[in-house]
């Protein structure tokens, strides 16, 4: 392993362009691996890794958290969510705090467990908070089809799913954001394949490399992106060939679009991104928690001083936030990037706060 790392670093040095470049690792799992294995510190100074918006919890608008809290307060419902969202602060509370006040809010590991809970508790109204990117959407769609076919009428979803390629285009259009190349997410790409990134290479002339998650994968991918920049190429290359195919997983994609249509979506700090979200098709509208559990108007506001927006766009490093490691720590998070296991601030706090 040591020898392979040394060889990859030599290759990166050989292929580095004659200028400084910013490579954005889109996916939060990449961010965590880069911090954990100290990969940033192995690179030449001219290669700057910046984190992107690929952390589903981090890009879930604070208004959604406030909305879910209001549903829990106003209705007799059982709410299930993945663990990371539990501790993200809303405007004046969190799901964790509401749970401690007796609301029926629970952590789940899979939506199938939630559906089974609904099946075995027909007297309860059960809401699954459907969060995540293309990696998790096919599973949600399978669960909804199953609920539909089995006529499970006490199951609902609060949909906050988001699609990655559209968010990357938004970053490229933002004049404040400087990106020379993307490390594209391996898991998302296992579903959608490499073609949806084609417009980034073709229209914006930005190289893309779909990367695996092991340290050697990431280093190899950085070398591939640097080489493209140096040679003036912009292509979509797949480093993570043991998992990702050019065509992705057509069965999973078909399943997604049997249940959902594309829609615009609001991303935390990034704003509304056209075509970056999903809405239930007419046939499945009865599963829509927002429609069945309306809440009175909520006034949401972002936490003062939190720089998550700039962190998610790669404009600032977590350590450039004045609250980092002072008022904001994992045990007392102020923004979502310090909570999530894929959040940049959490990664820097855990592994890099003494290195930068
Ligand atoms: S350190 Fe905390 S307050 Fe600052 S950007 Fe990160 S999550 Fe937000």
How does pLDDT run across 141-192, given as a tens digit for each residue? 999 999 999 999 999 999 999 999 999 999 999 999 999 999 999 999 999 9
The whole-number average pLDDT for the span 2-26 is 90
State in Å: Cα 71 to ligand 1 middle.
Answer: 27
> Does 169 contact ligand 1 (Cβ within 6 A)?
no
- The answer to whether the CB of 57 is under 6 A from ligand 1 is no
Rounded-to-integer distance, Cα 75 and Cα 279, Å: 23
CATH of the domain at 22: 3.40.50.11750
Same-domain check for residues 157 and 170 = no
Distance CA 353, CA 356 (A): 6
d(CA 312, CA 269): 8
User: Reduced to 3 DSSP states, what percent helix, strand and coil does the chain have, rounded to the nearest 5?
Assistant: 45, 20, 35
Decide: 62 in ligand 1 pocket, CB within 6 A.
no
Give the pair of three-digit tokens for residue 108.
């789940």
Q: 183 forms bridges with which residues in the sheet?
A: 25, 209
Residue pLDDT, tens place only, 208-245: 999 999 999 999 999 999 999 999 999 999 999 999 99
Q: Which atom of ligand 1 is nearest to the CA of 324?
A: 1
> Is position 188 within any domain?
yes
Q: Which domain holds residue 104?
A: 62-163+248-292
> What is the total count of domains within the chain?
2
Distance CA 353, CA 88 (A): 21
What CATH number does residue 86 fall under? Answer: 3.40.50.11740
Report, as an integer, the average pLDDT of 122-146.
96
Ligand 1 geometric centre to CA of 17 (Å): 32
Would you say the CB of residue 324 lies under 6 angstroms from ligand 1? yes
- Cα(83) to centroid of ligand 1, in Å? 19
For the chain, the average pLDDT equals 94
Nearest atom of ligand 1 to the alpha carbon of 336: 7
Average of pLDDT values for 280-299? 94
Proportion of the chain above pLDDT 70, given as a percent: 99
What is the pLDDT, as a whole number, of residue 80?
A: 97
Residue 149 included in any domain:
yes
Please name which of 173, 163, 223 lies closest in space to residue 197, comparing C-alpha atoms.
163
Q: Which residue has the CA at smallest separation from atom 6 of ligand 1?
A: 345
Give me 214's structure tokens.
């092991």
Name the domain boundary from 238, 258, 276.
238
Residue 298 counted as domain residue: no
pTM of this prediction? 0.92
On whether both 227 and 265 belong to a single domain, the answer is no
Q: What is the pLDDT of residue 355?
A: 58
In angstroms, the CA 126 to CA 124 distance is 6
Locate all alpha helices (DSSP H) within 174-276, ordered by sequence. Answer: 186-192, 198-204, 215-231, 250-259
Report the alpha-carbon distance of residue 119 to residue 153 in Å, rounded: 9
Contact 5, 42 (CB under 8 A): yes
Distance CA 356, CA 351 (A): 10
Q: Are residues 150 and 177 in the same domain?
A: no
* Whether residue 137 is found in the same domain as residue 90: yes
Same-domain status, 159 and 66: yes
312 lines ligand 1 (CB under 6 A): no
Q: Looking at ligand 1, which residue's alpha carbon is closest to its atom 1?
A: 324
DSSP H helical ranges for 94-182: 95-100, 111-120, 137-149, 164-173
Cβ of 311 closer than 6 Å to ligand 1, yes or no, is yes
Same domain, 6 and 23: yes
Q: Is residue 20 part of a domain?
A: yes
Let me know if residue 320 belongs to a domain: no
Tokens in use for 80? Answer: 């299930």
Looking at the structure, do residues 156 and 42 belong to the same domain, yes or no?
no
Query: Do 132 and 176 sit in the same domain of this protein?
Result: no
DSSP bridge partners of 265: 273
Q: Is the CB of 25 under 6 A from ligand 1?
A: no
State the distance from the centre of ligand 1 to the C-alpha of 36, rounded, in angstroms: 19
Please give the structure tokens belonging to residue 5: 């790392």
Residue 334 forms part of a structural domain: no
Specify if 337 maps to a domain. Answer: no
Phi then psi for residue 205, to 5 deg, are 55, 40
Pocket test for ligand 1, best of 87, 94, 306 (most atoms within 8 A of CB): 306
Instruction: Give the ligand 1 atom nearest the CA of 345.
Output: 6
Q: Are 347 and 339 in contact (CB under 8 A)?
A: no
Query: Strand, coil or helix: what is 39?
Result: coil
Yes or no: say if 311 and 51 are a contact pair by the CB < 8 Å rule: yes
| Residue 98 maps to a domain | yes
Q: Can you state the angle between helices 28-36 and 215-231, rounded to 10 degrees?
A: 110
Tell me how crowded residue 142 is: count the other CB atoms within 10 A of its CB: 18
My answer on whether 131 and 148 are in the same domain is yes
Q: Which atom of ligand 1 is nearest to the CA of 311?
A: 5
Claim to verify: residue 146 and residue 285 sit in the same structural domain: yes
Nearest CA, atom 7, ligand 1: 335
For residue 356, pLDDT over 70 is answered with no
Q: Do residue 150 and residue 92 come from a single domain?
A: yes
Token digits of residue 227: 């080489």
Q: Do residues 180 and 275 share a domain?
A: no
Q: What distance in Å separates the CA atoms of residue 334 and residue 336, rounded to the nearest whole number?
A: 7
């Amino acid at each position: 392993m040591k020898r392979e790392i040394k060889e990859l670093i030599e290759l990166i040095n050989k292929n580095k362009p004659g200028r400084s470049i910013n490579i954005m690792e889109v996916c939060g799992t990449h961010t965590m691996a880069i911090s954990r294995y100290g990969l940033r510190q192995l690179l030449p100074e001219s290669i700057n890794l910046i984190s992107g918006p690929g952390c589903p919890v981090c890009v879930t608008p604070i208004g959604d958290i406030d909305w879910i809290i209001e549903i829990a307060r106003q209705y007799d419902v059982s709410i299930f969510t993945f663990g990371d969202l539990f501790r993200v602060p809303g405007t004046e509370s969190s799901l964790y705090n509401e749970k401690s006040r007796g609301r029926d809010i629970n952590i789940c590991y899979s939506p199938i467990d939630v559906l089974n809970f609904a099946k075995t508790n027909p007297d309860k109204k059960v809401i699954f908070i459907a969060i995540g990117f293309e990696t998790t959407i096919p599973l949600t769609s399978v669960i909804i089809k199953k609920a539909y076919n089995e006529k499970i009428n006490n199951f609902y979803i609060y949909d906050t799913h988001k699609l990655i390629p559209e968010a990357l285009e938004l970053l490229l259009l933002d004049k404040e954001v400087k990106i020379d190349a993307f490390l594209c997410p391996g898991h998302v790409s296992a579903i959608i394949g490499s073609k949806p990134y084609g417009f980034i290479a073709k229209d914006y002339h930005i190289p893309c490399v779909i990367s695996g998650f092991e340290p050697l994968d990431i280093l190899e991918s950085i070398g591939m992106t640097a080489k493209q920049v140096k040679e003036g190429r912009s292509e979509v290359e797949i480093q993570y060939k043991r998992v990702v195919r050019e065509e992705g997983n057509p069965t999973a994609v078909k399943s997604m679009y049997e249940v959902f249509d594309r829609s615009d979506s609001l991303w935390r700090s990034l704003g509304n991104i056209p075509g970056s979200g999903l809405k239930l098709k007419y046939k499945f509208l009865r599963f829509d928690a927002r429609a069945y559990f309306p809440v009175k108007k909520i006034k949401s506001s972002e936490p003062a001083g939190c720089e998550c927006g700039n962190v998610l766009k790669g404009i600032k490093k977590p350590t450039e936030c004045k609250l980092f490691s002072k008022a904001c720590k994992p045990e007392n998070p102020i923004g979502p990037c310090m909570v999530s296991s894929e959040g940049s601030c959490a990664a820097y706090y855990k592994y890099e706060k003494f290195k930068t």
